A and B are shown apart, each in its own frame.
Chain A
Amino acid sequence: ILLSTVSPEQFVLTLLEAEPPNVLVSRPSKPFTEASMMMSLTKLADKELVHMIGWAKKIPGFVDLSLYDQVRLLESCWMEVLMIGLMWRSIDHPGKLIFAPDLVLDRDEGKCVEGILEIFDMLLAMTSRFRELKLQHKEYLCVKAMILLNSSEYAVASDRLSRSHDCLVPPCAVRPGPLTCFLFFVHSNKGMEHLLSMKCKNVVPVYDLLLEMLNAHTLRGQ
């Protein structure tokens, strides 16, 4: 895509086409235990991460970055991208978290897992805020792309990436205030710490891509 010739509408269309598919992770037939809920959530996250990489590669400008910068951006933002996706899926369902179409959790189910209720409440509160502000789908797409492009604590220098940024601004310019708020709402620290503690306590085995991403975050934090 020649970014200089792309209209904001076309850019939003590109983001729409980049959207990952819905991931399914069936709910266990028995009531949740701490281990089974964490297992469902980590399985889902691992599957979603694979799709997230495909999504990122379709964000204009991203693949022009060095592999090193691509890794750095994704390692910084993956939990926030998972969270905003969850919030968007849950926006029309007060009190529920739609992790997947077949994994809908009520707030109180968070009581199964030590420490997760606080995170569920935070996610539900952020989702209600999105609902109150009437977050539109195209705004969601733009905010999610911004989370990716803004995620590294180091400056990622790329002419194409800054032009991507410029393309993201017009669709969001209608309501810059609320959209800046959306960016501030999405914080992943608590979720990351919780997942790390669940892994350290051996409540759930964390493997594959999710393990890599969690380790990357942990190493950077030290």
Chain B
Amino acid sequence: GSLRGQDPGPRPLELKEVFTLFQIQYNRSYSNPAEYARRLNIFAHNLAQAQRLQEEDLGTAEFGVTPFSDLTEEEFGQHYGHRRAAAGVPSLGRKVESEEWGES
């Protein structure tokens, strides 16, 4: 939810600090305060998601802040994976479903 109205405690400040470091590291700026707030919320969501992945992953992977931490899952998919195709425009590495392939 919106950060507006929240008590200024250590947790939001820490999050904002991490977000500021992210912006510096990946050279991100946002056009207006509303967009900043939206990206901050997405960033917070992604950090929580990374923490969940970290807990669930059975390997040795580290999940956390990446260049894509201010993108929604859908935006990430559009740019780097399963683009939601519009009017027949194919996607990146388009989603492939066929089970008919045999060996060449």
A and B held together in a complex: no
B interface, CB within 8 angstroms of A: none
